[in-house]
Amino acid sequence: MPLAPGATLPRSPHPNPTRRPRRPSPGGGAARGVRPAAVTWAAPANRRTPRCRTLPAGRGSSSWWRRSERARDRGPAMEREVQRLRAAFQTGRSRPLAFRLQQLQALRRMVQEREEDLLAAIAADLSKSKLNAYSQEVLTILGEIDLALEKLPEWAAARPAEKNLLTMLDEAYVQPEPLGVMLIIGAWNYPLVLSIQPLIGAIAAGPVRCHQWRREETTKLLEQRFDHILYTGSTAVGKIVMEAAAKHLTPVTLELGGKSPCYIDPDCDLDVACRRIAWGKYMNCGQTCIAPDYVLCEPSLQDQVVQKMKEAVKEFYGDNIKDSPDYERIVNLRHFKRIQSLLEGQKIAFGGETDEATRYIAPTILTDVDPEAKVMREEIFGPILPIVPVKNADEAVKFINEREKPLAFYVFSRNNKLIKQMIETTSSGGVTGNDVIMHFMLSSLPFGGVGSSGMGAYHGKHSFETFSHLRPCLLKSLKGEGANKLRYPPNSQSKVDWAKFFFLKRVSKGRLGLLFLALLGVVLAVLLKVGAGAPSIPGAPTLETNSVL
């Protein structure tokens, strides 16, 4: 269905709306104050490196589009642009493996050449140090590109498919092919990773171009037909994206959010558990979609958890957290006030300090939290960690299963059997045992949600497959028509019995099994051709040749 009249994507304003961002420099790169959450990538034939234009996500203008308030007038222009991209894709220029590898190498050069501009833009939005931004974003991107460069020939190759007796002499394989024109909508909290990481998979799969736009432009752009849409953001906006995609039957990958629980078993190393939880929770000031949202533990552990978390926070950020270069800020005033409101009426065991002028919210821990409180009804997406007491692991599982499926689930215990049991009895987008967030860092694992936390997945080979159609291919010979008469009318019981034998029998892939297959095929073809009876094969039906020939 199309977007409802007047429906738009929620605005994510610039942290300082009174400051006008600089215009992006020619050829790409993000100027200071410009959020690089909107990157348009192209592969012009006359350039060695891709053209990368950073479109401001707040107020201001870009060299391509005029003011965002006029986005509603750009529908025809956007339609023409998408049609042009589709026509370019139909030329097949982006399909050759060599072209894709060249574009991935060019993308790598672009990230390296514009590294300082990108890091400066992230610092302007989130007060993130260059070291943090580089380790959390740039390194991840470069590693993903290197993986694609190494593995793309293997990913793009035809994959042999298992055959049955009926197709034993045929060629069966799965051939990945690019879907076409893709739309990737990134997010502001990790602008490089959430924009470029899926883009790497899209380039590897072979589409012509990927877009990311500002809010108003994205709303209009969703009216166009794409071959796949990947969106990262809130569940509410994910529903808008899916509604728009349904009009064109466009498949979507939705990486949304939710309240990711963290269970702490009494039988665990509490020092290690709390240090790792504090790292994942307060990194990026809590603005991480898979950050631990709340802690479940037995009442007797609650005070110990608070104390260990306080020690970890001091270890990470020092006595004066506000002055630590490693502690970020809330992205804008609207989110600051929303997170601040979650503290109302809560028992603050640690932290709670705020500064609206700098959008600072201290690492905060809440204890004895009511499961029905506001802080437990919505995704926090900030540096607030509620602790909800539960009697045991079974009650924790019940608590989790009574709520929407989260994007991630974390459990800490020395008992691996307990960890696997909790994994088997809950559902979430991903799981990390005895740590947090780290499943995101492994490209061999698909990253995505389930239920209200999203659908589909990407990362590494999974990104390639998300933007590809896995095309089943079967190549048969024009010979052997005698055997094929088993499937031609008129039908008979003997034909059905033989069909059951061919479809349901499985032969081992060892030498004897292969020899049996070859012998069976030759004997059957000869006998059918001369009209003789079928051989006596254990488990095979009796063939009535007069009903076949």
| Predicted local confidence at residue 220, as pLDDT | 82
Regarding whether 522 and 416 lie in a shared domain, the answer is no
3-class DSSP state of 25:
coil
Across all residues in the chain, what is the average pLDDT?
83
Name the packing angle between helices 393-401 and 416-424 (round to 10°): 20
CA nearest to 226, candidates 351, 408, 81, 52: 81
| Predicted local confidence at residue 545, as pLDDT | 42
Neighbours of 512 (CB within 10 A): 9
The tens digit of pLDDT for each residue in 179-205 reads 999 999 999 999 999 999 999 999 999
The tens digit of pLDDT for each residue in 208-235 reads 555 555 666 777 889 999 999 999 999 9
Task: Tell me whether residue 281 is in a domain.
Answer: yes
Task: Tell me whether residue 23 is in a domain.
Answer: no
pLDDT of residue 342 exceeding 60, the answer is: yes
Task: Tell me whether residue 63 is in a domain.
Answer: no
pLDDT of residue 468 exceeding 60, the answer is: yes
Regarding whether 523 and 502 lie in a shared domain, the answer is yes
Regarding whether 141 and 103 lie in a shared domain, the answer is yes
Backbone angles phi, psi at 505, to 5 degrees: -80, 140
Regarding whether 131 and 187 lie in a shared domain, the answer is yes
Regarding whether 289 and 413 lie in a shared domain, the answer is yes
Rg (CA), the chain: 28
Catalytic residue among 137, 216, 255, 298: 255
Q: List the structure tokens of 72.
A: 């509603």
Neighbours of 515 (CB within 10 A): 11
Q: How confident is the model at residue 487 (pLDDT cuts 50, 70, 90)?
A: confident
Dihedral sign from CA coordinates of 287, 289, 291, 295: positive
Angle, alpha carbons 70-74-76 (nearest 5°): 160
Task: Tell me whether residue 194 is in a domain.
Answer: yes
Q: Where do runs of H (alpha helix) occur along 7-129?
A: 75-90, 97-113, 115-126
Task: Tell me whether residue 22 is in a domain.
Answer: no
Q: What is the CATH number of the domain that holds 426?
A: 3.40.309.10
Dihedral sign from CA coordinates of 319, 322, 328, 332: positive
Regarding whether 307 and 377 lie in a shared domain, the answer is yes
The tens digit of pLDDT for each residue in 21-55 reads 333 333 333 332 323 333 333 333 333 333 333 33
Question: How do beta strands 468-475 and 261-264 pair?
Answer: unpaired
Number of separate domains in the chain: 3
Regarding whether 174 and 227 lie in a shared domain, the answer is yes
| Predicted local confidence at residue 80, as pLDDT | 85
pLDDT of residue 548 exceeding 50, the answer is: no
Q: What is the CATH number of the domain that holds 134?
A: 3.40.605.10
The tens digit of pLDDT for each residue in 286-304 reads 999 999 999 999 999 999 9
Average pLDDT for 386-413: 98
Task: Tell me whether residue 2 is in a domain.
Answer: no
Distance (Å, whole) CA 5 – CA 81: 23
Angle, alpha carbons 409-415-417 (nearest 5°): 75
Q: Where do runs of H (alpha helix) occur along 318-438?
A: 333-341, 393-401, 416-424
Task: Tell me whether residue 51 is in a domain.
Answer: yes
Place of tokens 């629980």: 261
Regarding whether 397 and 308 lie in a shared domain, the answer is yes
Residue 158's domain spans which residues?
Answer: 30-58+98-162+170-256+454-476
Regarding whether 470 and 426 lie in a shared domain, the answer is no
3-class DSSP state of 302:
helix
Check if 255 is active-site: yes
Regarding whether 511 and 437 lie in a shared domain, the answer is no
pLDDT of residue 134 exceeding 70, the answer is: yes
Verdict on whether the full-model pTM lies above 0.85 = no
SS (H, E, C) 98-109: HHHHHHHHHHHH
Task: Tell me whether residue 307 is in a domain.
Answer: yes
Regarding whether 442 and 310 lie in a shared domain, the answer is yes
Regarding whether 142 and 37 lie in a shared domain, the answer is yes
pLDDT of residue 163 exceeding 60, the answer is: yes
